[in-house]
Amino acid sequence: MSAKHPGPVVLTGRTIRLEPLTPDHLGDLFLAGGGDEEVWRWQGGPAPRTQAELAERMRSVLEGPYVAFAVVHTESGRAIGWTTYMDIDTADERLEIGWTWYGRAYWRSSVNTEAKLLLLTHAFEDLGMGRVQLKTDHMNLRSQKAIARLGAQREGVLRRHRLRPDGTWRDSVYFSILQDEWPAAKAGLVARLDAHAG
């Protein structure tokens, strides 16, 4: 039996909610990360300097083969980043979580842990996925450490995988969590959120 294809849904956590990304989020998103080169360093291309430039990036997400979510900080009600399901294959029961960014004010907070907990729970428990993968640039050590902390297993590297905007080549480091690994990974994520709240 194949998995279900993800669709528009709101996923609610303790401090954030994930809701379908729309152009209505643009103003908040620009305030959260517009013009910040460090936020956009690994996203492919320079940081958007204007709302119009960010709107172009958003359009490529909304019109692409993604299921995109705005990451909304519950207390403020403001969108602080976005994330997507991508490379979705229901017959093979797999998808990828990617194209994720958050405003720098939310780095090293509980936001990424909670967003991934919501996305992974929905993928495995509601959609019936058997594999969720994540990948990052081999030079993005911060992202690799964050992915490993989710309980994902490092699988390997695709060499010379993508051409960067500056003309250099990116190797992509792949990680995954499988259905039978999910209970342990979930317990670890919940424990990290509990520790952060305490």
pTM score, two decimals? 0.95
Q: Answer with the residue of higher pLDDT: 87 or 46.
A: 87
Asked whether residue 1 carries a pLDDT value surpassing 80, the answer given is no
Start-to-end CA span in the chain (Å) = 41
pLDDT tens readout for residues 24-59? 999 999 999 999 999 998 887 789 999 999 999 999
Q: Which helix (H) or strand (E) holds 112?
A: helix 111-121
* Residue 91, pLDDT above cutoff 90: yes
What structural domains does the chain harbor? Answer: 11-197 (3.40.630.30)
Please work out, in degrees rounded to the nearest 5, the angle formed at the alpha carbon of residue 68 by the alpha carbons of 66 and 72: 170
Predicted confidence (pLDDT) at residue 198 exceeds the cutoff of 70: no
pLDDT in tens, 127-144: 999 999 999 999 999 999
Cβ atoms of 126 and 29 within 8 Å: the answer is no
SS3 call for 5: coil
Residue 4 is predicted with a pLDDT of 97
Report the DSSP beta bridge partners of residue 157.
173
